[in-house]
Amino acid sequence: MSLSYDVVVVGAGTAGAYTAYNLAKRGFRVALLESKSGDKVGVKTCGDALGKHHVDRMAKYLTPNPKILVNDIKGVELFSPDMRTKYVIPGEGYMLDRFNWGKWLVKEAINAGAEFYEGHTATVPILENGQVSGVKANDNRQGTHKEFRGRIVVDASGSVGVVRSRLPDTWPISERLHPEDVSHAYREVFYIDGSVENPQYIKIYLDQTISPGGYWWAFPYSSDFLNVGLGVWGTLKVNPNANYKRYLEPRYRIKNKVHMGGGFIPTRRPLKTLVWNGIVAVGDAAAAVNPLHGGGIGQALLTGELASKAIERAFSAGRYDAATLWSYNVDYMNEWGYRQAQLDVVRLMLQTLDNDDLNFGLSRKLLTEQDVLDISSRGVTLSVVDKLRLALQFVGRPGLLMKLYNAMSYAKRIGDLYLQYPQRPEELDRWYAKVVETYREYRDKIGLGPMPA
């Protein structure tokens, strides 16, 4: 059976449902495919924390039911491995009732006019004349095969990127995720006996034994209802589930568990390109995640918004090739991609530090709470680089400080390169060669090997 739409969206998580909503609202005929059956829609293993600025931006198009935003978060408490130093970083946000958030988004997409195909698993893209023109899918319940055809396919299938990763190697959007650029995470949601301190602050704990190359967290939905988990760096082959059971579970007097699960998250610089002929990637499928903390719900919304605008422009032009969809890349790099690249540089450096370095760095406030806030909200600026250059003369551990200084100065350089993202696909290779060269220099300086292919 072959079905025809303007746009076929694969995956009904936050990114896919929000893209489908935005496109259907603009009057496009949209098919939204989801491999889960209807009762499972909304189930997602996640920390469920979302910055308020993402919700505010979303409210231009769609306002969440306040019941889905279950805890008003005031900021982050960040702890050193020895627990002697605590940073309190202000920042408003929410904990989401994730199941109902996911269900609500899909419902909004359907109400806006998208046709929802639950229990439909996209298998391969359909390629015709150098253009993606649809996907093949299995109807899991009927056991039948279908073709969904559209001018544009949106890959919103999460970290696997099921459509883009099955495109020819010669298409730059098919870029594979290297284990070095991936984090593995495991988390449980449970009620406890008693209560946590300061439940309006999400808690992040740095500890290279418990969560090597990552962190562990306790995010409160309320004083006695928590989301606790950890993420580890992909290359280290540490089992996050085993570390959870060993180190985290014994810390809480758990009354009853509500949900458990793991997943992997792309934690890296932006993909070389988020579009190609007839294809657009959003959310985790576009690796649009904060590489430092692995948060990607906000970026799933952002990419859904920006991709929908680019798709609308393509329909106005009547062309669906890489060049016509390219404005999505440029918008993305200018809005968030350059900061994603900056944070990726910082993340690579942090992953080389041990607990001693982290204890020292945090206790001496090599970067203050304000610096951390500025970097996360505005990106790395020259003032942070200058401050570290000055500090080099005065603080002990010159090796550590030099690493931090290099990270900040290369973050600035690489961010600037992403702000000069090419305006046309033909310029991509030349630009990307500069990115690779700058990363190579940086990795040399902080003692990491060559950039993984």
Ligand X SMILES: Cc1cc2nc3c(=O)[nH]c(=O)nc-3n(C[C@H](O)[C@H](O)[C@H](O)COP(=O)(O)OP(=O)(O)OC[C@H]3O[C@@H](n4cnc5c(N)ncnc54)[C@H](O)[C@@H]3O)c2cc1C
Minimum distance of ligand X from residue 136's CB (angstroms): 10
Q: Exactly one of 22, 35, 211, 351 binds ligand X (CB under 6 A); which one?
A: 35
d(CA 229, CA 188): 6
In the region spanning residues 162 to 191, those forming contacts with ligand X, defined by CB under 6 A, are 162, 185, 187
Cα→Cα distances 124→15, 115, 140, 176, 320, Å: 20, 20, 15, 16, 19
Beta strands in 129-247 (DSSP E): 131-139, 144-149, 152-155, 182-192, 201-205, 215-222, 225-233
> Within 40-59, which residues bind ligand X (CB under 6 A)?
44-50
CB count within 10 Å of CB 165 equals 17
Closest distance between ligand X and the C-beta of residue 57, in Å?
Answer: 14
Note whether 157 binds ligand X by CB under 6 A: yes
Min separation Cβ 167 and ligand X, Å:
14
Interacting span for ligand X (CB under 6 A) from 59-67, 151-159, 167-175, 327-335: 151-159
Considering only residues 412 to 431 of the shown chain, the ones binding ligand X according to CB under 6 A are none
User: Does position 158 bind ligand X by CB under 6 A?
Assistant: yes
Pairwise CA distance, residues 339 & 254, whole Å:
38
Shortest distance in whole angstroms from residue 144 CB to ligand X: 15
Using CB under 6 A as the binding criterion, the count of chain residues that bind ligand X stands at: 40
Two tokens, residue 171:
């298409």
* Contact call for residue 263 and ligand X (CB under 6 A): yes
Nearer to ligand X, 280 or 366 (CB): 280
Under rule CB under 6 A, residue 121 binds ligand X: yes
Are 109 and 15 within 8 A, CB to CB? Answer: no
CB atoms within 10 A of CB 114: 28
53: alpha, beta or left? (left if phi > 0; alpha if psi -120 to 50): alpha
| CA end-to-end span of the chain | 39
Tokens coding 314: 């393509």
Asked if 214 interacts with ligand X (CB under 6 A), we say no
From candidates 12, 106, 375, 400, binder to ligand X by CB under 6 A: 12
> Phi/psi zone of residue 280: left (φ > 0), alpha (ψ -120 to 50 degrees), beta?
beta
Residues 223-252 that bind ligand X (CB under 6 A): 229
* Residues of this chain, 277-316, that bind ligand X according to CB under 6 A: 283-285, 289, 294-298, 300
The least CB distance from residue 257 to ligand X, in Å, is: 15
Q: Does 388 bind ligand X (CB under 6 A)?
A: no
Contact 414, 435 (CB under 8 A): yes
Which positions lie near ligand X, rule CB under 6 A? Answer: 10-16, 33-36, 44-50, 121-122, 156-158, 160, 162, 185, 187, 229, 263, 265, 283-285, 289, 294-298, 300
